Amino acid sequence: MASESGRTPGTQQPNKDDPNNSKEGKRFFKFVFNVNKKCTDETEMTAEFERDVKHYHEFDAVVTTCIEYVENMFIPFCSKNPKIQMDDSLKSLSTSLNDFKNHVPENYKSSFESFSTKMKATSGARKNHQDIQRRCLDNMKNFHNQQYAAFLQKKKNFDESRRKMDQAKAEVREAKTTTAIEKKAICYQLAVDDFDQVTEELIKYIESLPGTKKEFTYDILTVLSKHKKYHEDMSKFFSLPS
């Protein structure tokens, strides 16, 4: 493992042919290698790593805000929760128009009957569009509730592991006897191994973000296109008879 070859004095540099030193692993090795170079109280990570962590937080904030505005604009409040029985005004309008046709002049009855039928069809079309929009938005909501929540836990584990590793490193430096140094070095190596593991787990979330962005791009465009199609359908349904 690349991270293991750059930590303790006297070890060899990573083999360039090692598959762990691929493009995907370079960033991980860079900041792990800094563990040996940095002799301050806290292990320093690369600027790229810090930017990636910050960007993950920023992405969650942007997604959460976008969902809120899109949902408020395109999804009626009463239909946001599928468990709530929606008061379908278009279906009610269809029934009302059908009843009203019995009280209009004979030559207008067919028009009211036609509108009644169209409103019933409109009701079904709107529900279909909103069901798809809701599924897309729910998928995006899951990012904050699931992926981001898990990311925060991984970041917490990372911070704690780094703290323990730095503490173990300091104890090695402060040891006075050969026996004490050897014992502390073993503890430090265990801390390094744990740090490697939790760092890799955190990086997996960071590296999955491009795929999430692509998925959410599709979701947003689907919500917007369904809104456009909804209005196109409304225009057809509400067209006056010639």
Spans of all domains in the chain = 2-237
At residue 240, the pLDDT reads: 60
Q: List, for residues 7-51, the tens digit of each pLDDT value.
A: 433 334 445 444 444 444 444 444 444 444 444 468 899 999 999
How many CB atoms lie under 10 A from the CB of residue 2?
Answer: 21
The number of angstroms, rounded, from the C-alpha of 94 to the middle of its chain's C-alpha atoms is: 41
Could you tell me which residues come within 8 angstroms of residue 157 by beta carbon, excluding any fewer than 6 positions away? Answer: 198, 201, 202
Residue 67, Cβ neighbours under 10 Å: how many?
21
Percent of the chain's residues with pLDDT above 70: 76
Tens-digit pLDDT profile for residues 45-75: 999 999 999 999 999 999 999 998 888 877 6
pTM tops 0.85, yes or no: no
Span 137-165, pLDDT tens digits: 999 999 999 999 999 999 999 999 999 99
Q: What architecture does CATH give domain 2-237? A: Up-down Bundle (1.20)
Cα angle for residues 98, 99, 104 (degrees, 5° grid):
90
Query: What value, to the nearest 5°, has the Cα angle with vertex 168 and ends 167 and 172?
Result: 115
